[in-house]
Amino acid sequence: MIVILLLCMAGLSAKAQRLPLDSVLARVKTNPALQAYDARASAQDAYATGARSLDAPKLSAGQYQVPYQLNPNGGAFMIQAEQMFINPAKLKAKQAYMQGQSKVTAEDKNYLKNQLIAQAKQYYYERVVLEKKLALLQHTQDLLEYMLKDANIRLTYGKEKLPNIYKAKAELFELDNTREQINSEIRQKNIMLNTLMNRDKQAAFLVDTNYVLKAYETTITDTAALAGARSDIKGINRNIDLQQLSAQMEYAKRKPDFGVQAAHMQSYGGMSNQYVLMGSITIPIVPWASKEYKANLKGIHYEVEELQQKKLDILNQAQGQLAGVKTDMGSKKRQLRNYEQNIIPALQNGYKTALLAYDQNTGDLPSVLNGIKDLQMARMTALDRLQELLTLQVAYEREYESN
Phi, psi of 262 (to 5 degrees): -130, 140
**Is 390 a domain residue?**
yes
Give me the pLDDT at residue 16, please.
73
**Is 273 a domain residue?**
yes
- Residue 192 domain boundaries: 26-67+77-400
List, for residues 209-222, the tens digit of each pLDDT value.
999 999 999 999 88
User: Which of 146, 47, 182, 120 shows the shortest CA–CA distance to 372?
Assistant: 146
Give me the pLDDT at residue 261, please.
96
- Residue 358 has, within 13 A of its CA and on its CB side, a CA count of 22
Confidence check: pLDDT of 15 > 70: no
What is the C-alpha separation between 315 and 158, in angstroms, rounded?
A: 72
Q: What is the mean pLDDT of residues 309-326?
A: 94
Confidence check: pLDDT of 367 > 50: yes
> The whole model's pTM is what?
0.86
The answer to whether 111 and 284 are in contact (CB under 8 A) is no
**Is 72 a domain residue?**
no
Give me the pLDDT at residue 40, please.
96
Q: How many domains does the chain have?
A: 1
What is the C-alpha separation between 156 and 18, in angstroms, rounded?
A: 47
List, for residues 231-242, the tens digit of each pLDDT value.
999 999 999 999
List, for residues 157-209, the tens digit of each pLDDT value.
888 889 999 999 999 999 999 999 999 999 999 999 999 999 999 999 999 99
**Is 19 a domain residue?**
no
Give me the pLDDT at residue 3, please.
40
What is the C-alpha separation between 338 and 346, in angstroms, rounded?
A: 11
**Is 12 a domain residue?**
no
Cβ-based neighbours of 337, under 8 Å, separated by 6 or more: none
List, for residues 238-273, the tens digit of each pLDDT value.
999 999 999 999 999 999 999 999 999 999 887 889
Question: What is the CA 105 to chain-centroid distance, rounded?
Answer: 14
List, for residues 16-30, the tens digit of each pLDDT value.
789 999 999 999 999
Three-class secondary structure of residue 277 per DSSP: strand
Confidence check: pLDDT of 11 > 50: no
Q: Counting Cβ atoms within 10 Å, is residue 199 exposed (0-12), middle (13-18) or buried (19+)?
A: middle
**Is 35 a domain residue?**
yes
**Is 20 a domain residue?**
no
Instruction: Provide the 8-state DSSP code for 66.
Output: -
Residue 245: C-alpha distances to residues 53, 99, 174, 301 (Å): 19, 10, 67, 12
| pLDDT band at residue 1 under the 50/70/90 scheme | very low
**Is 98 a domain residue?**
yes
Give me the pLDDT at residue 154, please.
86
DSSP string, 214-275: --GGG----HHHHHHH-HHHHHHHHHHHHHHHHHHHHHGGGS--EEEEEEEEEESTTPPPEE
| pLDDT band at residue 298 under the 50/70/90 scheme | very high
Single-letter code of the amino acid located at 140: T
What is the C-alpha separation between 230 and 220, in angstroms, rounded?
A: 16
| pLDDT band at residue 303 under the 50/70/90 scheme | very high
Strand 205-207 relative to strand 17-19, pairing: parallel
Render the burial of 248-284: b for 16+ CB within 10 Å, e for the rest: bbbbbbbeebebeeebbbebbeeeeeeeeeeeeebeb
Q: What's the sign of the alpha-carbon dihedral 107, 108, 111, 113?
A: negative
What is the C-alpha separation between 12 and 6, in angstroms, rounded?
A: 10
CATH code for position 182? 1.20.1600.10
Q: What is the mean pLDDT of residues 341-359?
A: 94
